[in-house]
Amino acid sequence: MKAIVCDKYGSPDVLELKEVKKPFPTENQVLVKVHSASLNFGNLVLLKGKPFLARFAFGLTKPKYSIPGGDIAGTVEAVGENVKLFKVGDEVFGDLSGCGWGGFAEYVTAPEYALALKPTNTSFEEAAASPMAGVTALQGLRDKGEIKSGHKVLIYGASGGVGTFAVQIAKSFGAEVTGVCSTRNVEIVRSIGADHIIDYIKEDFSQQKECYDLVLGVNGSNSISAYKRILKPNGNFVHVGGSESQLYQTLFLGPLISMTGRKKMRSLLQRANQKDLNDVKELLESGVCQYSCRIKLLYFSTKLIFIVFRIPISIEAIALCLIAC
């Protein structure tokens, strides 16, 4: 089968399209024929090996997982003898980032817990764009952020993959949502239900008078003090993405700030699991989360995946690039 292989850290130029052996499922695995896979920030970390801390999980000197690709959607081709939840022909989607990656290939094996039945109202392309982004938004708001009805919530990076899910999920909890994005994405954020929008090109979100119960920092390079400034006394800041310096600040300064005051500064390491995948499935099927903004979905053949890797580095508005295999 064909697969995109990454044997060393670097730019997209290190990626190679190779013929590799088709995997065979073990007794606890599912073999999936991949119809679509999505590219997101996690794939770029795996490609570049940055931030350096990520190498302790992905391999110190070279990638531990040679085939990238976390988010997939496809059809079950075969199942191991102990697999109970899926059968041949089932349409599934999932996040493989916690079980060896491998989604940028024609076939991939995965444990049951990394997969769920595909939402019935989405295409394979749309389904592939939702596991990591949807679960990250859900865990950031519900688990780390402890969101409640009536909370005032600010989402920095509201027009991206995680951000668009986060706006809609926060609204479903009954929160008053402020989305921060660039000028060109204001209409996207408005269309998915944000109550208020801050255009960071025109104004500094951290200098406003409004304070929030929960701030979700999805991307950017803002200092941790900027987020702390707009939190209510018992508020939560949850870091789910951004620059390397922002990550280190949250990891090392966040616990200190949390211990010395009432404001909580937390980091989220998203962990895919079947329950949360099914929650995302339900959110999509019920219409709570939808692709009304059509987040500039781009379709490419497997051979052009090298080019797609370059896009999120330079064009922030493209939240997820989809690869139809």
Q: Which of 36, 40, 38 is nearest to 91 (CA)?
A: 36
pLDDT in tens, 136-166: 999 999 999 999 999 999 999 998 889 999 9
Token pair of 291, please?
């692709």
Residue 314: which H helix or E strand, with range?
A: helix 305-314
Q: Which DSSP category does 105 fall into?
A: B
Q: Give percent above pLDDT 70 in the chain.
A: 83
Mean pLDDT of 207-211: 92
8 Å CB contact between 105 and 4 = yes
pLDDT in tens, 8-47: 888 777 888 889 999 999 999 999 999 988 877 777 777 7
pLDDT in tens, 252-301: 676 767 777 788 988 888 888 999 999 999 999 999 997 644 444 444 44
Mean pLDDT of 64-81: 92
**Per-residue pLDDT at 216:** 97
Domains of the chain, earliest start first? 2-129+295-324 (3.90.180.10), 133-267 (3.40.50.720)
- What is the pTM for the complete model shown? 0.87
Please report, as a single letter, which amino acid is at residue 241.
G
Q: Which of 67-71, 87-91, 224-228 has the highest mean pLDDT?
A: 87-91
8 Å CB contact between 111 and 99 = yes
22-25 long-range contacts, CB within 8 A, separation 24+: 22/106, 22/107, 23/102, 23/107, 23/108, 23/109, 24/78, 24/109, 25/78, 25/79, 25/80, 25/83, 25/109
